[in-house]
Amino acid sequence: MTYQVTVIGGGPSGLMAAIAAAEQGVKTLLIDKGNKLGTKLAISGGGRCNVTNRLPEEEVIKHIPGNGKFLYSPFSVFNNYDIIDFFEGLGVALKEEDHGRMFPVSNKAKDVVQALLDRLEKLNVEVRKKTPVESIHYGSEGHEITLQSKETVITKAVIIAVGGKAVPYTGSTGDGYAWAKEAGHVITELFPTEVPLRSNEEFIKDKSLQGLSLREVDVSVLNQKGKQIVTHRMDMLFTHFGLSGPAILRCSQYVVKEFMKGHKPVTIEIDCMPDKKEHFLYEELQQDLKDHPKKTFRNLVKGIVPERLLDYLLDYTQIEADEKAANLSNQKLQKFVSLIKHFQVKTHDTLPIEKAFVTGGGVSIKEIIPNTMQSKLMNGLYFCGEILDIHGYTGGYNITSAMVTGRVAGMHAAWESMG
């Protein structure tokens, strides 16, 4: 069969690309190997589908530390607000939650995916599910796509939207990198991002803090000289293998980059009371000790951090549970305060890329034209979504990147195929 535009991959980027191409009136095919489309989209945002983010464009780009600036150009064509209008136009009412995250009012991921499928149908996009693509043979006038079944599809333009390597059961198994290389594209080193961290610290191994979550703490990644590379104030969690939770996921890519430089272990520093300067905390506690000499130190400080962490810190600083305030040495107090402000956890690895939320690295953006998403190396070849070397924090930023690049790729592939 012959098509003007063929989109490989039915995630948010491919769905958007196929819709955008078909809206231009060209004969469009969407191929996916799964028996459903938008599987990863549907599990995003805790399974409610975090469609996009409402923060100003500038902020959205800041939350995409992996080459977010590349998106300025596609954003000038279609941005996060356009995504909101697009879904509202399809009858999917959206609501804003914390940090600008946008969800369907119904809280049902399937409403979002169904709206995209209905739109595809309305535009007469031919959809072939359970159809894995095996390879692409590039030609000067068009391209030949070979399916696993050995059937071939001829197309003027092809859009590769097969995602990265994270969470492969959703269909993203990294198949597209070989097709990009075949066209001469550079694939930058792939790595897991938005991924939990492993630690061999005794308190992790003996599970003394397992399951403990800390609210709104400052989590920093330290470089080899002990300087902070990045800090995020969010919640975090101690697990049976190390650290997880929103602040850790955000910090993870900076840890991975240190690992990639050969630096191991990498220290995570937690400030459990980020709104209080260390010397104020010290002076306040010193005053409390003076004012309540007969109280136990544990009772005096109870509540400043969760009880399990407090007991661990007291144990670590060798302060007995019944130690009276009057008897506590300045040295021990100083050590205790220092731990509250600079609790350090050495990390030595991450969970594998398959367990990461997002893939870092991918098709180099240097070889992609930003306002069309076309390959600079091959006519009629386009890329969009997570296969590109663009990665953001979770919170709708990756999905925004996928839909925006998909939209631009779809439009331009259609125009090129008409020429």
Ligand X SMILES: Cc1cc2nc3c(=O)[nH]c(=O)nc-3n(C[C@H](O)[C@H](O)[C@H](O)COP(=O)(O)OP(=O)(O)OC[C@H]3O[C@@H](n4cnc5c(N)ncnc54)[C@H](O)[C@@H]3O)c2cc1C
- Options 13, 28, 79, 350; binder of ligand X; rule CB under 6 A: 13
Q: Which C-beta is closer to ligand X: that of 102 or that of 309? A: 102
Q: Return the structure tokens found at 286.
A: 């010193």
Site string for ligand X, 122-161 (x = CB under 6 A): ----------xx---------------------------x
Under the criterion CB under 6 A, does residue 48 sit at the interface with ligand X? no
Q: Which C-beta is closer to ligand X: that of 167 or that of 368? A: 167
Shortest distance (Å) from residue 19 CB to ligand X: 13
Shortest distance (Å) from residue 279 CB to ligand X: 39
Q: In sequence order, which ranges of 78-130 are alpha helices (DSSP H)?
A: 80-89, 109-122
Please choose, from the candidates 12, 384, 405, 367, the residue with its C-alpha nearest in 3D space to the C-alpha of residue 176.
Answer: 384
Q: Which C-beta is closer to ligand X: that of 14 or that of 242? A: 14
- Options 5, 27, 33, 251; binder of ligand X; rule CB under 6 A: 33
Cα 407 to Cα 390: distance, rounded to the nearest angstrom:
16
Cα 186 to Cα 222: distance, rounded to the nearest angstrom:
31
Site string for ligand X, 174-213 (x = CB under 6 A): -x--------------------------------------
Cα 141 to Cα 26: distance, rounded to the nearest angstrom:
17
Shortest distance (Å) from residue 397 CB to ligand X: 5
Cα 328 to Cα 11: distance, rounded to the nearest angstrom:
60
Cα 79 to Cα 400: distance, rounded to the nearest angstrom:
8
Angle between helices 12-23 and 397-418 (to 10 degrees): 30
Cα 255 to Cα 257: distance, rounded to the nearest angstrom:
5
Under the criterion CB under 6 A, does residue 395 sit at the interface with ligand X? yes
Q: Return the structure tokens found at 373.
A: 């998403």
Q: Find the binding residues for ligand X in span 338-357 (CB under 6 A).
A: 357
- Options 4, 5, 6, 8; binder of ligand X; rule CB under 6 A: 8
Under the criterion CB under 6 A, does residue 172 sit at the interface with ligand X? yes
Please choose, from the candidates 321, 332, 331, the residue with its C-alpha nearest in 3D space to the C-alpha of residue 296.
Answer: 321
Q: Find the binding residues for ligand X in span 396-415 (CB under 6 A).
A: 396-399, 402
Q: Residue 343: left if φ>0, alpha if ψ -120 to 50, beta else—which one? A: beta
Q: Which C-beta is closer to ligand X: that of 269 or that of 354? A: 354
**Strand partners of residue 214:** 236
* Candidate ranges 118-126, 168-176, 286-294, 296-304; the one touching ligand X (CB under 6 A): 168-176
Under the criterion CB under 6 A, does residue 9 sit at the interface with ligand X? yes
Please choose, from the candidates 328, 323, 219, the residue with its C-alpha nearest in 3D space to the C-alpha of residue 274.
Answer: 219
Interface ranges with ligand X (CB under 6 A): 8-14, 31-34, 39-41, 43-45, 50, 132-133, 161-163, 166-167, 170-173, 175, 357-358, 385-386, 394-399, 402
